[in-house]
Structure 1
């Protein structure tokens, strides 16, 4: 919290409010007249002591296990405080009764040590609070950097996964000699431009993601025959709602991978809704191809991790299978309540 305005306000509070009020507890009027040098020295010492503590930052030294430095500093400050108790009395006061002199010296000693303890306690309390805030902010920065790195990793894993599946589609069209091959490559190049133009974006407008899904669906339709019907429904009241790029593609891919057939009638249904508060995505498809392995690989796992990092506690992702129908439902609360 170096050079933070709050630290400056605390210092001003101590120097201009707390210490003047504490000094008023002393017999200031009498000491100004009879013991001016001691009073000025005491006031100067109190302020110097405070800023020594603030500059030394004892809690930080303690966290760094620099115990010897702490002991040396406290020893030096205690020694200086003890020396201040021997500040000479004015010559005219020494002529007083010896008991009166001893009483005044005792009061001065108590006053000096009282201010030492007050300044020490206040300074350490303030610096300990600041150090706790520093630790919290440091952990938050580390966590933010970690989350950013993890998001970059998950996005990097999604892109090759998508490319592999899409290239398989193009390869099948080429092998079959389909007249749709040229159109498929045009759509594929558009999808690639989207992927790499948004590779560094954490959020994009929902309408861009929907357009990307629509291009992907059109690309898949080129390889499908009349047995597989695709229904894509979009209800976007606000196309500028921010969502993570390529957050939906895994579920769309799976719907086509496991829900399409070349010889049996089937339907793949996709629904996307978005407004200022809620983003909803649903898929529904008959299971026409049984996965060889349980689950759908890293795609869905990565999607869950991205959602957890970006929307902790603000999303629900449900997948279920019943009567040969596989369903996915993703809800994201755009704004925190």
Structure 2
């Protein structure tokens, strides 16, 4: 509950309580006795008497419970309550035995002549013990919800931090390899070098711009994916066999940026790309509600990577954080082929 709503709730409660006491107060008058003076007197009396429960409630709620009860200092809490009622007892005695009778001709108790410190103490306790328990309950309930809110905020901050870290780990191998390929092309003065530099600049621009956003348009992710494939083909000097197929209408749809590239890089890094009969297959299809992405490649069993699939673990964690209940990732590792199938619902 917002603090403003909480404040309005408190004000509303005490206002309703004051109006209720006013109704009971006016019932003691005959219709003919009601006038401006009697109404003003009743309003003042009921407001003054309401100050005792308000003082007890908020002193306990804002000071005593947080300082002692919630810190398990029960003895100190009980002592503080006794001190509070001891301080209020003389004021109570003065208000009910002197102020109200003399200034407003208002007599609340039949035992006013016997009202003393101890009797005022007991009267305060008897009339306001409900507010003591009420303030304790509200304080503990408020603490519970505040703790839940902080835990949710902390979990959100941790997720954002973790996502930022995971994004920072994306593409280092691919970029270094691409730079090496471009260096070789420029050294050889190959005609593909300018095109490769242009595509790499587009990749870097996309990575810097979109990686800070939670989602990016799918059409931009597809352009990024195509540039990656074309750069890889340039680096392989035309002996890379990659089938990229895109179906469906991506207009108006979004996806977490730099998710798909991990699967493609994994296929390039661990698969055989120079076999015309077994090309790397990349299939992306989009319909009204689902997004499907599949990458399959022939395995290069002669190549062993010591990093152990860090990229796939990275993207699996990102998917779990961004699409916790909306995605299905199936990784099939067979003797000769490796296939990744990703489905995202309600894209």
**TM-score of the superposition, structure 2-length normalised?**
0.77
- Who is 1:95 aligned against? none
- Return the offset for 1:209: 0.6
1:7 aligns with 2:6: yes
- Who is 2:63 aligned against? 56
Partner Cα distance (1:160, 1:65) in 2: 53
- Return the offset for 1:255: 1.3
SS of 2:170's partner is: helix
* Alignment CA distance shift 1:62-1:119 (3 Å): closer
Task: Judge conservation of contact 1:57–1:127 (CA < 8 Å) in 2.
Answer: no
Partner Cα distance (1:163, 1:111) in 2: 80
Counterpart pick for 1:308 among 304, 317, 320: 320
- Return the offset for 1:156: 0.9
Task: Judge conservation of contact 2:289–2:346 (CA < 8 Å) in 1.
Answer: yes
Deviations 1:140-191, CA, capped at 9 Å, x for gaps: 2222221111111111111423312333443555577654333222222221
SS of 1:58's partner is: helix
* Alignment CA distance shift 1:119-1:279 (3 Å): same
- Who is 2:245 aligned against? 233
Please list, as runs of the form range in 1=range in 2, the aligned pairs for 1:11-50 lying within 5 A after superposition.
11-18=10-17, 20-21=19-20, 29=28, 41-50=48-57
Task: Could you tell me which runs of 5 or more consecutive residues in structure 1 were left unpaired when the two chains were aligned.
Answer: 93-99
- Return the offset for 1:111: 5.3
Counterpart pick for 1:74 among 74, 77, 81: 81
- Who is 2:271 aligned against? 259
1:116 aligns with 2:123: no
Counterpart pick for 1:147 among 148, 159, 179: 159
Number of residue equivalences: 325
- Return the offset for 1:299: 1.0
* Alignment CA distance shift 1:68-1:177 (3 Å): farther
Task: Judge conservation of contact 1:241–1:276 (CA < 8 Å) in 2.
Answer: no
- Return the offset for 1:203: 1.2
Task: Judge conservation of contact 1:273–1:279 (CA < 8 Å) in 2.
Answer: yes
- Who is 1:97 aligned against? none
SS of 1:313's partner is: coil
* Alignment CA distance shift 1:325-1:209 (3 Å): same
Partner Cα distance (1:63, 1:270) in 2: 59
- Return the offset for 1:56: 2.8
- Return the offset for 1:261: 3.9
* Alignment CA distance shift 1:178-1:77 (3 Å): same
Task: Provide the alpha-carbon RMSD of the alignment.
Answer: 3.9
Deviates more, 1:225-234 or 1:247-256: 225-234
- Who is 1:268 aligned against? 280
* Alignment CA distance shift 1:228-1:101 (3 Å): closer
* Alignment CA distance shift 1:238-1:185 (3 Å): closer
Deviations 1:69-105, CA, capped at 9 Å, x for gaps: 755642332223544664564799xxxxxxx749996
Partner Cα distance (1:12, 1:38) in 2: 19
**TM-score of the superposition, structure 1-length normalised?**
0.79
Task: Could you tell me which runs of 5 or more consecutive residues in structure 2 were left unpaired when the two chains were aligned.
Answer: 30-37, 103-109
